[in-house]
Amino acid sequence: MSDFYQSGLVTTLHRLGEPKPEALEQQLERFAQDQPVALILPALSSEFDKPAMQEMLAQLCQIRYVSQFVFTLAQTSPGQFREIHERLSLLPGEVRLVWNDGPRIQSLYRQLEKNGLQTGPDGKGRSCWMAYGFVLGKHQADVIAVHDCDIVNYNRELLARLCYPVLNPNLNFEFCKGYYARVSDRMHGRVTRLLITPLIRALESLFGFLPFLRYLDSFRYPLSGEFAMQADWRASIVSPQTGVWRSASLRRFTGIAPRSASARWTSPTTTSTSTRNSRRATRRKVS
């Protein structure tokens, strides 16, 4: 059930009434004519063998407002890369694969580290960071959206609601982040509840009022990996390491974006499984 809680700094866009993704998508198709959308999808090769990926690809085949699908792949062999490339040919729009284990990108990582930029270990943060560079270098997208590939009951409404606040020129949002209520029969969201929120509030107690800390504390779930934003903001995210890129995304808006520039949307109930970075394959309930 939706609530009407507003934190004050970050606008919460509630999911009210019956969802009508078709109506949202019709508007998004019009908006995307002026603001092309690139969707970045970090994935492991093993995820392409799971039902969640198959359903997600079936849903993405119905989407017409995304002009560029960028899959940034990790833990992928040459044979798996070729197989994945063939499977993704049915998607509408331009499909690009960033092969992080490939010889060219591995050479680039070594060159970056040789020149003092530590890209860190293999992980979602580094994979997404490389994909951002690809999209920005192509100069074909004004909006970048990101979401995971392990959502078991994926529905295209998720992507539509994520992109709508940023694409709609009447709303004037430049950044939108997903909000997941970790409510189920298990204690999900432990990193936020037991580490991030206490840490932020401890820092507020030590250093007093700081706009950045207040901004981070305004997000009900700052670690969610689903978000959309204007592409020109993405150019300043400099940290490629997993765990840092999500907070770096929020940091970019502190002090330079107007109060109304950031939003979060409340998602429908969603179940995900994740194995990236040796995390246990657990399910998370989202409402």
The model's pLDDT over 149-176, given as tens digits with 9 standing for 90+, comes to 988 888 899 999 999 999 999 988 999 9
Pairing status of strand 143-146 against strand 175-179: unpaired
Q: Note whether 134 and 116 are within 8 A (CB).
A: no
Pairing status of strand 270-273 against strand 283-286: antiparallel
Instruction: Tell me if 116 is assigned to some domain.
Output: yes
Domain that holds residue 142: 20-174+224-232
Q: Note whether 180 and 284 are within 8 A (CB).
A: yes
Dihedral class, residue 172 (left if φ above 0, else alpha if ψ from -120 to 50, else beta): left
Amino acid code (one letter) for 49? D
Q: What is the pTM of this model?
A: 0.81
Q: Which helix (H) or strand (E) holds 26?
A: helix 21-31
Instruction: Tell me if 251 is assigned to some domain.
Output: no
Q: What is the tally of helices (H) and strands (E) in the chain? A: 11, 10
Instruction: Tell me if 272 is assigned to some domain.
Output: no
Domain count, the chain: 1
Helix or strand or coil: residue 234? helix
Instruction: Tell me if 100 is assigned to some domain.
Output: yes
User: How many degrees, rounded to 5, is the angle at CA 198 between CA 241 and CA 120?
Assistant: 10
Nearest-CA neighbor of 167 among 286, 67, 56? Answer: 67
**Model pLDDT, residue 235:** 56
Helix or strand or coil: residue 18? coil
Low-confidence ranges of the chain (pLDDT < 50): 1-2, 242-245, 248, 251-260, 268-287
DSSP state, residue 100: T
**Model pLDDT, residue 286:** 33
Instruction: Tell me if 135 is assigned to some domain.
Output: yes
**Model pLDDT, residue 245:** 43
Q: Which two tokens stand for residue 31?
A: 């908006």
Q: Which two tokens stand for residue 236?
A: 């300043």
Instruction: Tell me if 214 is assigned to some domain.
Output: no
For position 88, which CATH number holds? Answer: 3.90.550.10
- Computed on alpha carbons and rounded to an integer, the radius of gyration of the chain in Å comes to 18
Instruction: Tell me if 193 is assigned to some domain.
Output: no
Instruction: Tell me if 85 is assigned to some domain.
Output: yes
Helix or strand or coil: residue 192? helix
**Model pLDDT, residue 114:** 93
Interatomic CA distance for residues 73 and 101, integer angstroms? 8
Tokens 């940023």 — which residue? 166
**Model pLDDT, residue 96:** 96
User: How many degrees, rounded to 5, is the angle at CA 173 between CA 170 and CA 175?
Assistant: 150
